[in-house]
């Protein structure tokens, strides 16, 4: 079950934080499992191997656009921590800030994932419609991420 509060959602995923983190970090595979991202291009990778600057094309869902974000990876060895991203460029969006927070649950066998998203657009739009779009994006992302991460766990619970 997903609890959505404004533009954030928290969900428990039956996969270790490291597995959930791998799903978040594997941005090139987003078109395979998200309902909104159709193309991804990694523009730059940090020295530690994490994607740093990524261009996304969203041709499905409430916001159709090509946009670039910068990532910051504040992650511990066990996969817990925060992944943040901030908008660099977009035609439609004037702001896009997000945070994935991963917390270990059940002795490291599960993950509590909180996803927060704040966006603004370059066109006039009612605040209520913007919040609905944020809520739809956040809720669908955590549900799809959960489903994808849990398929990466073998029947005996090992990655």
CATH number assigned to the domain with residue range 3-25+71-151, chosen from the 4 options 3.10.20.30, 3.40.50.720, 3.30.530.20, 1.10.10.10: 3.30.530.20
**Model pLDDT, residue 65:** 92
Tell me the per-residue pLDDT of 122-138, one tens digit each, with 9 for 90 and over: 877 666 677 777 888 88
**C-alpha distances in Å from residue 3, one per residue of 7, 9, 32, 83:** 11, 5, 25, 20
Tell me the C-alpha distance between 3 and 137, whole Å: 14
Domain spans in the chain, listed from the N-terminal domain onward? 3-25+71-151
Residue 12: which of 107, 146, 149 has the closest Cα?
146
The tens digit of pLDDT for each residue in 62-105 reads 678 999 999 999 999 999 999 999 999 999 999 899 999 999 99
Report residue 3's pLDDT band, with 50, 70 and 90 as the boundaries.
very low
């Amino acid at each position: 079950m997903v609890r959505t509060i404004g533009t954030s959602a928290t969900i428990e995923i039956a996969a270790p934080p490291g597995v959930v983190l791998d799903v978040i970090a594997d941005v090139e595979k987003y078109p395979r499992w998200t309902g909104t991202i159709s193309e991804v291009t990694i523009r730059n990778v940090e020295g530690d191997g994490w994607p740093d600057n990524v261009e996304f094309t969203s041709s499905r869902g409430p916001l159709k656009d090509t946009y670039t974000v910068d990532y910051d990876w504040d992650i511990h060895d066990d996969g817990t921590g925060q992944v943040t991203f901030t908008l660099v460029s977009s035609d439609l969006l004037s702001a896009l800030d997000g945070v994935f927070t991963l917390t270990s649950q059940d002795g490291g066998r599960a993950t509590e994932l909180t996803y927060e998203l704040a966006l603004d657009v370059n066109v006039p739009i009612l605040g209520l419609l913007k919040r609905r779009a944020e809520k739809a994006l956040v809720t669908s992302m955590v549900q799809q991420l959960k489903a994808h991460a849990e398929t990466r766990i073998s029947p005996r619970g090992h990655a």
